[in-house]
Amino acid sequence: MRIKAKAKDGVVSVKAGLKHEMLSYDQAKKKGKEANFIVYIEAKVDGKPVYEASTSQFLSKNPFIKFKFKGEAGKELELSWIDLKGNTKSKKAKIK
Amino acid sequence: MQRRKFLGLGFGVAALSLAPISAVAKNYRKELPNAWKIKNKEAENDLTGTNEAIKAVFGNDKTEDGQIKLKAPDIAENGAVVPVSFKLEKASKVALFQSANPEALVAVWDIPEAGIPDYGVRIKMAKTGTITVVAEVDGKLYRASKVVKVTAGGCGG
């Protein structure tokens, strides 16, 4: 997972690249695999949510997301996701 | 007009009463399991599936134009990676739909208190179709849509 978080004038802009195959039901069928994709992405600062997305099989492979929220530099942003099979991953990044 | 005012009020009250809950994470996969299963029709720009999915996510599909700035390419050479972004002054909930894939709903965002709905995401489109963004702002629904021509499909694998 790659996260870039930059603050300017009280607004934090985040760009994040998540690593996931995002196999849709159709794609999985063709490959003889089980469908699996990220279903929920959340970002928090100081334990409070700043971004919340419920997602589907139609996000591209290795999803790339951009979002903004009110915040300051120096704090830590924690981004996490969960997929259809229940795997989770989370990563912290300092807001610059 | 009277009726609209009344409805708006109703939504406001509903939003207020939901406020304490929305401080906790809201996973629409769990909350609305059926919304994600709504199928698109075969025809390229048939929005029946999109409209049904809007109803499933927001409770109704009575939308107005405005508020949303939607950005998506006119032509996508690679349907596997179609960049879509949208921007609003404010919103409590935003959802993204398309008419190109087997199902209509792509994602639902709950905008937290600190959130600024200026979001971008990359999606897959199996063929040419219409991208629709619907946002709930002060209890009203707004819609923006754009046709994206896909020259190579994204769901073929």
Q: The pTM is what?
A: 0.88
CA geometry: angle B62, B145, B16, nearest 5 deg: 45
What is the per-residue pLDDT across A15-31, written as a single tens digit (0 to 9) for each?
999 999 999 999 999 99
Based on the structure, what is the number of domains in chain B?
A: 1
Contact A55 B115 (CB under 8 A): no
In a domain, B156, yes or no: no
Q: Is the pLDDT of residue B77 over 60?
A: yes
In a domain, B157, yes or no: no
Is A68 at the interface with chain B, CB within 8 A? Answer: yes
The interface predicted TM-score of the complex, written ipTM, equals 0.96
Rounded to a whole number of angstroms, the distance from the CA of B97 to the nearest CA of chain A is 10
What is the per-residue pLDDT across A27-72, written as a single tens digit (0 to 9) for each?
999 999 999 999 999 999 999 999 999 999 999 999 999 999 999 9
User: What CATH number has the domain bearing residue B78?
Assistant: 2.60.40.2470
In a domain, B75, yes or no: yes
Is A46 at the interface with chain B, CB within 8 A? Answer: no
Q: Which domains, and CATH codes, for chain A? A: 2-94 (2.60.40.10)
Q: Is the pLDDT of residue B93 over 50?
A: yes
In a domain, B28, yes or no: yes
Share of chain B above pLDDT 70, in %: 81
Q: Who has greater pLDDT, B10 or A19? A: A19
- B82 lies in which domain range? 2-150
Q: Is the pLDDT of residue B10 over 80?
A: no
